[in-house]
Amino acid sequence: MKKLEMVYEGKAKKVYRTEDEKQFVIEYKDDATAFNGLKKGSIVGKGAVNNIMSNIIFQMLEEKGVPTHFVKQLNERETVVKAVKILPLEVIIRNVAAGSFSKRYSVEEGRALAKTVLEFSYKNDDLGDPLINDDHILALELASEEQLKLVRKYAYEVNDALKEFFLERGLKLVDFKIEFGISEGEIILADEISPDTCRLWDVVTGEKMDKDRFRRDLGNVEETYQEVLGRVKK
Ligand code: UDP
């Protein structure tokens, strides 16, 4: 699959058109940003970790009945995916209080939540990705009622599958963000699932094994990404 011109460059990935209009090639970068681009850096090897890890997880999710954009890994950093139009929504699932949730409601990080929380943010950097609810999404026509229903259903299914998958690897799934796209009229899981997009805490030590090591300057950032990939490959 030959890469043609770049159609999009995000903070962590480049997206290329191919000879097949129904497929893109994604190239993962080592660039890291946090706090809506305020903190910038690089995590050596991150692109390869996120690419390989996402692909393993997307194939596992496909087997469990969640449709994804995954087609074929080309090499350590590049993957062929189905071309989608991304819904401008960040779908966040929380099993344990952390990050912006803890700050917003002043609850300590690590508090187990009595109910799994599904949250939407409106993907819009200029606005700082504000929280948005189902009514807002429908009012602004960001998704149809039918699409929203499917997105919610898939998000919970992804959570159930991921919680089990990570627990088997000694990692607690605290929260994560996913994105969906539309391919030939169908809602499918797109973007990535990686230490950039999940909070993962070591089950035994409680250590943070995700992008919070970069966000909060906790050290051992590169090593942690490699450790997570090693466990995911098992
Ligand atoms: N997240 C993400 N991209 C974003 C915002 C959040 O991947 O632009 C992930 C983040 O890594 C965490 C979860 O979504 O696993 C919830 O993040 P939160 O809302 O707590 O925001 P943060 O603390 O990262 O600002």
Residue 222, classified by CB atoms within 10 Å of its CB into exposed (0-12), middle (13-18) or buried (19+), is middle
Report the atom number in ligand 1 closest to the C-alpha of 174.
Answer: 15
Give me the residue label for tokens 């969640």: 66
Q: What is the pLDDT of residue 121?
A: 98
Report residue 36 as tokens: 């809506």
**By three-state DSSP, how is residue 20 classified?**
coil
d(CA 124, CA 201): 28
User: Which protein residues touch ligand 1 with a CB less than 6 Å away?
Assistant: 90, 92, 98-101, 129, 175-177, 196-199, 211
| Cβ burial, residue 123 (10 Å; 0-12/13-18/19+) | middle
Ligand 1 centroid to 93 CA: how many Å? 10
In this prediction, residue 22 carries a pLDDT of: 98
Model pTM score: 0.97
Kindly give the confidence (pLDDT) of every residue in the chain, 234 residues in length, as a single tens digit, with 9 standing for 90 and above.
789 999 999 999 999 999 999 999 999 999 999 998 999 999 999 999 999 999 999 999 999 999 999 999 999 999 999 999 999 999 999 999 999 999 999 999 999 999 999 999 999 999 999 999 999 999 999 999 999 999 999 999 999 999 999 999 999 999 999 999 999 999 999 999 999 999 999 999 999 999 999 999 999 999 999 999 999 999
Cα-to-centroid distance, 1 and ligand 1 (Å): 33
Interval between CA 197 and ligand 1 midpoint (Å): 6
Residue nearest to atom 19 of ligand 1 (CA): 100
To test the pocket of ligand 1, the residue of 36, 197, 200 to mutate (highest count of ligand atoms within 8 Å of its CB) is 197
- Report the residue among 175, 178, 208 best suited for mutation to probe ligand 1: largest number of ligand atoms under 8 A from its CB: 175
| Ligand 1 center from residue 159 Cα (angstroms) | 15
Contact 155, 91 (CB under 8 A): yes
**Residues 6 or more apart whose Cβ sits within 8 Å of residue 40:** 31, 32, 33
In the chain, where the domains are located: 3-82, 87-221
Are 212 and 96 within 8 A, CB to CB? Answer: no
Give me the sign of the Cα torsion angle 130, 135, 140, 143.
Answer: positive
The one-letter amino acid at 166? F
Query: Cα–chain-centroid distance for residue 85?
Result: 16
CB-based contact 36:125 (threshold 8 Å)? yes
The single-letter code of the amino acid at 95 is N
The predicted structure's pLDDT at residue 1:
78
Ligand 1 atom, smallest distance to 102 CA: 20
Note the pLDDT of residue 160: 98
pLDDT score for 18? 98
Q: How many residues does the chain have?
A: 234
Task: Please tell me the predicted confidence (pLDDT) of residue 108.
Answer: 98
Which ranges constitute the DSSP H helices of the chain? Answer: 46-63, 99-105, 134-139, 145-167, 212-215, 221-233
Homologous superfamily in CATH for domain 87-221: ATP-grasp fold, B domain (3.30.470.20)
Q: What CATH topology corresponds to 3-82?
A: Phosphorylase Kinase; domain 1 (3.30.200)
